[in-house]
Amino acid sequence: MILHELLSYDTLRVIWWVLLGVLLIGVALADGFDMGVAALLPFVGKTDEERRIAINTIGPVWEGNQVWLILGGGAIFAAWPPLYAVSFSGFYLAMFLVLAALILRPVGFKYRNKRPDAAWRSRWDWALFIGGGVPALIFGVAVGNALQGVPFGLTDTLVPVYEGNAILKLLGLLNPFALLAGVVSAAMLVTHGAAWLSFKAEGKVAGRARSIGSVSGLVAVAAFVLAGLWLAYGIPAYHYAAEVPANGPSNPLWLPMERGGSWLEAYAVRPWIVVAPVMGILGIALASLILRKGGGGWALLASKLGIFGVISTVGLTMFPFILPSSVQPGASLTVWNASSSHQTLFIMLVCTVIFLPIVLAYTAWVYRVLWGKVGAEELRSNPNAY
């Protein structure tokens, strides 16, 4: 009870904003290299054996890595109910595409080796490519739309309202800036996947991954810088029009919000956040350079640093906004108006403090057990290999 009183409502809101960012970064760091490897599969493996090597670098761990995606969705549902309601209802067709692509991944892993036919296996390899490439792209597109503002409104009873049918809404999400953000995401995760293959695979698979990753890393850096300039000088920001009590009610319509100015103003208010984009640029650029030089483990660490920086840049630049509204700025969702109750956030924090270390410890143990490179000899000696 004492701890509950010490952790004020505004403190818990910020803690859960940070935890949401941690979970999203966890998705990109863990499940991200799975997506990157799958997207690289048709290009790093010229023979069936080479493609099996690539698949078996992620085969034992992809299911555990996907837990981060589930945790992220669960955290949004429990800690930020309005965000869950607005985003999942407005993006449901895009999310359906992501889920359909993700479903191809377990099916591809399980069905690919059921028949020795080359055409059969090739079709499943391309299915795995879709299962990795489509989510990597769509996740970036979603972030790009969040930065611009999403065309939703709220009624007086806080019911989200979208204009247009599902197809028009999906096409609206595929705007130039959002697609550029999608390129950042896809290129970044391809680089991450290439670093993983360079670290984990042997032979020609690792060599081709290094060649592709060294280029995709440069693409990711260039697209990230271009998106940053576009965001700073071409896309209006959002801000509160009045003083914000951080422990106020969770009602997006409670205080007026406006659209105008530049997102770059966040760096004048909080200059220390410039560390995030610098980390993103240097991390991915360093991963590209190390891959070009033939490295593996250090490239993977650098790509992790870059991903941390890129995702942190988005959150820190937008703070306190989480999902702005482009058609009704006053309905925008922020850290201060879209959270669950004080009691709910506290109980969830206690559960997180207990169970998250267990998840991390188990994950570390799994990677320790599965340590080592995957090559042709491993495939021949391991009866459980895909």
Predicted local distance difference test score (pLDDT) of residue 385: 67
Q: Is residue 28 packed enough to be buried (19+ CB in 10 Å), middle (13-18) or exposed (0-12)? A: buried
291 within 8 A of 201, measured Cβ to Cβ:
no
User: Do you find a cis peptide bond into 320, omega within 30 degrees of 0?
Assistant: yes
Phi, psi of 21 (to 5 degrees): -65, -40
Domain positions in the chain are 2-367
Six-digit token string for 344 = 């709910």
| Interval 304-349: pLDDT, tens | 999 999 999 999 999 999 999 988 999 999 999 889 999 999 999 9
pLDDT grade, residue 198 (50/70/90)?
very high
Q: Mean of the pLDDT values across residues 210-228? A: 96
Q: What is the 3-state secondary structure (H, E, C) of 88-126?
A: HHHCHHHHHHHHHHHHHHHHHHHHHHHCCCHHHHHHHHH
pTM for the whole thing? 0.91
- Using the structure block, give the residue that is written with the tokens 């969702």: 333
DSSP string, 188-252: HHHHHHHHHHHHHB-THHHHHHHHHHHHHHHHHHHHHHHHHHHHHHHSEEEEESS---TT--S-T
Predicted local distance difference test score (pLDDT) of residue 325: 92
| Interval 245-296: pLDDT, tens | 777 888 888 888 999 889 999 999 999 999 999 999 999 999 999 999 988 8
Q: What's the rounded Cα separation, in Å, for the pair 313 and 81? A: 24
Residue at 24: amino acid letter? L
Predicted local distance difference test score (pLDDT) of residue 359: 83
- pLDDT at residue 44 is higher than 80: yes
Predicted local distance difference test score (pLDDT) of residue 300: 93
Going by C-alpha positions, the residue among 21, 7, 87 that lies closest to residue 319 is 21
Phi, psi of 35 (to 5 degrees): -65, -40
Alpha helices in the chain (DSSP H): 2-6, 9-26, 32-44, 48-58, 62-65, 67-79, 81-90, 92-111, 118-148, 166-173, 176-200, 204-234, 265-269, 275-292, 297-318, 342-369, 376-381
Predicted local distance difference test score (pLDDT) of residue 368: 83
The four Cα atoms 65, 66, 70, 76 give a dihedral, to 10 degrees, of 70
Q: What's the rounded Cα separation, in Å, for the pair 379 and 108? A: 18
| Interval 103-144: pLDDT, tens | 888 888 888 888 888 889 889 999 999 999 999 999 999 999
Q: What's the rounded Cα separation, in Å, for the pair 214 and 208? A: 10
